[in-house]
Amino acid sequence: MSKIDCQYDLCVNDVRGEQKPEEARKGNVTYGIDDTPPWYLCIFMALQHYLTMIGAIVAIPFILCPALCMEETDPDRSNIISTMIFVTGLITWLQATFGCRLPIVQGGTISFLVPTLAILNLPAWKCPEEEILVAMSTEERRQVWTSRMCELSGAIAVAALFQLFLGYFGVIGSLLRFVTPLTIAPTVALVGLTLFDHAAEAASQQWGIAAGTFILLTIFSQCMTNVNIPTLSYNRDSGCTVAWFPLFKLFPVLLTIIIMWAVCGILTVTGVFPPEHPARTDLKVNIIEDAPWFRIPYPGQWGAPTVSVAGVLGMLAGVLACTVESISYYPTTARMCGAPPPPLHAINRGLGTEGLGTALAGLWGSGNGTNTFGENVGAIGVTKVGSRRVVQFAAGLMVLQGVVGKLGAVFIIIPQPVVGGLFCVMFGMISAFGLSALQYVDLNSSRNLYIIGFSLFFPLVLTRWMAAHSGVIHTGLEALDAVLQVLLSTSILVGGAVGCLLDNVIPGTDEERGLAAWAKEMSLEAAGASDDGDTYDFPIGMSLIRRWKWTYYLPFMPTYEKGKFTALFIKKKL
C-alpha cells in the first residue's frame, strides 16, 4: 500500500493496527477535529463551508433592509451583506481557535430577525409613509435607515453582554445537568423542522433543479464515498505517480453546486428558462457590478449605537434562543467530528465567546447577532470532514470576501433552486442529528414518548399561531409585549423549555431518562488540562497557564477545576 494512499486516510486501520479509544470515537469521519488536511484540500473543503453558509447569511439582509426603510437600489445593501460575512469570519475564527474549539461556524441567525422586526414595528421605528420617503433627499433617506440600524446595534451589543457574562462566569454551564437528551432532541430537531418553509420557498422556484441538486448530493455523499478518482502526483523520490483520491467523499457539496450551476447556465443560454426566471444564472449579475472592489467594514460605520430598554429586552429573547440552540449543538458537533465530549470549561468558553461575537456584530453594524450555524453542522455530517483547520480556513475566506466585495458577489448569484435543494438535505440532517439523541433514552417508555411527542408538536402549533396573530399580546408594556412575542414565536426555545420541564418534573428512573448513557456523551467534569494536551486546550500558552494556579478558579480556562469559582463566594463555617 502506497504512502499516498495513507496520506488520504484510506488505510488508517491497516497502518495503525488496533484502534485506540480516540480512533474508535472517530468512526468513519474522514478528517477528525485535530487532523490537519493538506493546505490545498483545506481551501476546497473550506469553500464548501463558505457556500453552505452564504445562502443563509445573504437571506438575512434581504429581510432586514426593507424593515430599515432602505431603498431597493441603495448600494449600502451590499455593504451590509459584506459586513455580516466579514464579522462571521472574524467570530468563527475566534470561536474555533480560542472559544469552544469545535469546528463550528458562528454567523447571522434567523433567531435575531424575529426580535428585530418586533422592535422595528414599534411606533417610534415604523417606516414613514411611502410618499414621505419618496420626497426625501438621499441624505435624509440615509438618516432614516442608519438611525434604525444604530438602535439595533446598541440593543444587540448590550443584550449580548448577558450571554457573555453567564458564559464566561460559568452560570450557564452549571445548569447543564438539566439539559438531558429529551431537551436536546426537540431543540435541535425543531431547528430543521422550523426551517422547512425557507427550504420549500427556495426549492419550489424550480423543482427540477432542486430535485437534481439533492439527488446528486445524495449520490455523491452516500453512494459514491468509496469511489476514488485517479490523480497524478509528484514527489522527488518516486517522481510522477498515480494516486487514488476520494473526490466524492471530500467534496460532495462543492461538486453538486458546480454541476447544477452549470446546468442552470446551459438552460439559461439556450433560452429554456424565460427572462426573470429564478433559476437563471444571469438574474443577479447586477450584484457583481454594484459591489465595490475593496472596502473594510469597521465598528460604528453607520453611526454611534443607541440604547433603549425596549430594544435590549427584545433582543434578549434572541440571545436566550441562540444560547439554548448552541448548547444543543456542542455535543452533537463533537460526536460528528470524532471529538471527545466537550468539558465544562469549553462549553462555558464557547457560550461566552458567542456573546462576545454577538456584541462585536452589533458594534460593527451587521444588524444581527451570531449563533452556531446549523447548516454547517449538517455539512460536517454530509462530508465527514470535521477538521478544525478547515473551518479556520473557511473563516479566512469569509474575512477576505467581506473585504473584497466582488469576490463574494460571485457566490451570491448561485440560483435559488440550487440553494433550496441543498437546504432540503442540510435541514433534514439537522433534524436527524437532533433525534439521534433519543438513542440514549428508553423508547419503550410511555413517559418518554409523551414528552417527545408533545415537545415536538406543541411548539410548531404555538409558533404558527403566534406568527399569524402577531399583535395578540397586550400587557400594557410594549417592551414586555415584544419579549413575550419573541419567546413564544421561537420554536426551538419553546420545544427545549417544554422538553426540559417535563423531563425534570415527570417521575422517571435515570436509566429510563438515559442520564447514565448521556453522561458519557455530555461531560460535566472540569478536571484541569493534562500535560499531554487536549482537544479543548488553547493552541498557545498552555504551559504558562498550567503554572498559574489562579487559572484553576476561572470557569472558562482549560485548567478550571469544578466548584473552585463558586467556592470563593461561599462563607466557610468556623
436-446: pLDDT as tens digits: 889 889 999 99
| C-alpha cell recorded at residue 339 | 471529538
Q: What's the pLDDT at 2?
A: 40
- Residues 237 and 245 sit within 8 Å (Cβ to Cβ): no
Q: How many CB atoms lie within 10 A of CB 198?
A: 17
pLDDT at residue 69 above 80? yes
Instruction: Encode 463-514 in three state secondary structure.
Output: HHHHHHCCCCCCCCCHHHHHHHHHHHHCHHHHHHHHHHHHHHHCCCCHHHHC
**The cell 411611502 sits on which residue?**
130
Q: Average pLDDT for residues 283-305, to the nearest whole number?
A: 82
Q: What's the pLDDT at 318?
A: 75
Q: How far apart, in Å, are the Cα atoms of 569 and each of 36, 276, 341, 563, 564?
A: 43, 65, 29, 11, 9
Residues whose CB falls within 8 Å of the CB of residue 546, separated by 6 or more in sequence, listed in order: 528, 529, 531, 559
Handedness of CA 204, 208, 209, 214 (dihedral sign): positive
Q: Average pLDDT for residues 508-527, to the nearest whole number?
A: 74
Model confidence at 494, pLDDT cuts 50, 70, 90, reads confident
- Residues 403 and 294 sit within 8 Å (Cβ to Cβ): yes
* In 42-135, beta strands by DSSP E: 106-107
Helices 446-468/478-489 angle, 10° precision: 130
Average pLDDT value over all residues in the chain: 80
Model confidence at 97, pLDDT cuts 50, 70, 90, reads very high
Highest mean pLDDT out of 56-70, 133-147, 318-332, 355-369: 355-369
- Residues 356 and 384 sit within 8 Å (Cβ to Cβ): no
Highest mean pLDDT out of 131-140, 374-383, 521-530: 131-140
Written as one letter, the residue type at 348 is N
pLDDT at residue 325 above 70? yes
Residues whose CB falls within 8 Å of the CB of residue 81, separated by 6 or more in sequence, listed in order: 57, 58, 61, 408, 412
Condensed to tens digits (0 to 9), the pLDDT of residues 281-291 reads 887 777 777 77
Q: Average pLDDT for residues 333-343, to the nearest whole number?
A: 83
Centroid of chain to Cα 458: 25
Q: What's the pLDDT at 528?
A: 47
Q: Average pLDDT for residues 112-126, to the nearest whole number?
A: 74
Q: How far, in Å, CA of 456 to CA of 465, rounded? A: 15
Residues whose CB falls within 8 Å of the CB of residue 325, separated by 6 or more in sequence, listed in order: 111, 187, 188, 191, 371, 372, 374, 492
pTM over 0.95: no
Written as one letter, the residue type at 299 is P
Q: What percent of the chain shows pLDDT beyond 70?
A: 84
Handedness of CA 450, 451, 456, 457 (dihedral sign): positive
Strand, coil or helix: what is 38?
A: coil
Distance linking the first and last C-alpha atoms of the chain: 70
- Residues 150 and 363 sit within 8 Å (Cβ to Cβ): no
Q: Average pLDDT for residues 216-235, to the nearest whole number?
A: 82
> How is residue 175 annotated by DSSP?
G
